[in-house]
Chain A
Amino acid sequence: MRALVIDDSRAMRRIVSAALEGFGYETRQAGHGQEALDVLQEGYVPDLCTIDWNMPVMDGLQFVSAVRANPAWRALTLMMVTSESEQGQIVRALAAGAHEYVIKPFTADALRDKLALLGMLPEEAVL
């Protein structure tokens, strides 16, 4: 399975990527929503996108809306991974089309649990 990790923090991209790779994902990274859209438009269509909220150029909510507006990307699973933890923000993200919401700070186990809920754990990570 493939994942696109979208976060303006290089450190956080490394942390999320390392966790996903530990579960068996192949990962790519993008530093903001527009860069992630460019990756998708190049033809790299992952199974999962993890998305920070506050980013320069294009934020996570704008990215989710842009993905949901394109039927070609309907199968993408979108997971917000952000320090925005107000209830209203969570509702906005889910209403825009995100499937799941992980609040920073998080542990690899918490990420794994969320992926399992979505049925998005690669087989080798389930065993």
Chain B
Amino acid sequence: MTLAPDAVARSAQPRLTIPELIDEATVQAIAGEAWVALVGEDEVLVPVPGDLPAETLSAWVDVVGPWTGSVVLTTGRQTAADLTRSLLGVAAPELLDHEDVADAFGEIANVVGGNVKAALPGPSTLGLPQVGEAPGVRNPEDVCRLEVLWRGQPLVVSVQGALPALSTPHPNPPHPNGASL
């Protein structure tokens, strides 16, 4: 097999890690804007680290492009449910089911991830939101980790590289939003 000249040039370029492309302040600005628009006008993310509880839930989207990895939100399960209620507002059902939480938390990850993607070199593709156990960190040097508090509860936004590279997001995954709940 013969590689095209542009492919050879691309493969020869050093692969940038996420700290070279985006910083915590940018991730916090993106997440903060998403919170105000989706969760509520008065909802703020305080940049203070906190200890995640034993039972956590993660929502993430994969980004595939010049930088490949995932944008992962992780928080306690109860906090994820509280986020869902805030997102849905008066439309929230009296009893939330797992699908409600997966859908709403996944959509928040989708919005944060889409705007993180826009801050990175492109073009890139964005996968559908997934919810469940967070994907593992593959390269500790390719991570931008933001720890915040929302209503006093800890939440982590992790922009983490994927090595080896993730495959291109499948356009029609069988169960978006529904994993591992």
Contact = CB atoms under 8 A, between A and B. Distances in A.
Contact of A88 (B34, B89, B123): B123
B49 to A, nearest CB: 24
A83 B38 contact: no
Contacts, number: 77
A58 to B, nearest CB: 9
Interface residues of B, number: 35
Given A9-B106, A11-B107, A18 B37 contact: no
Contact of A11 (B34, B103, B114, B123): B103
Interface string A66-107: 000000000000000011111011000000000000011111
Interface residues of A, number: 25
A36 to B, nearest CB: 16
B38 to A, nearest CB: 5
Interface in B106-149: 106-107, 110-111, 113-115, 117-118, 122-124, 126-129
B33 interface: yes
A12 B107 contact: yes
A14 B38 CA distance: 12
Nearest to B123: A88
Interface of A: 8-12, 14-15, 18, 54-57, 59, 82-86, 88-89, 103-107
Given A11-B84, A86-B117, 8 more contacts: A9-B103, A9-B104, A9-B107, A15-B38, A56-B128, A57-B172, A104-B37, A107-B37
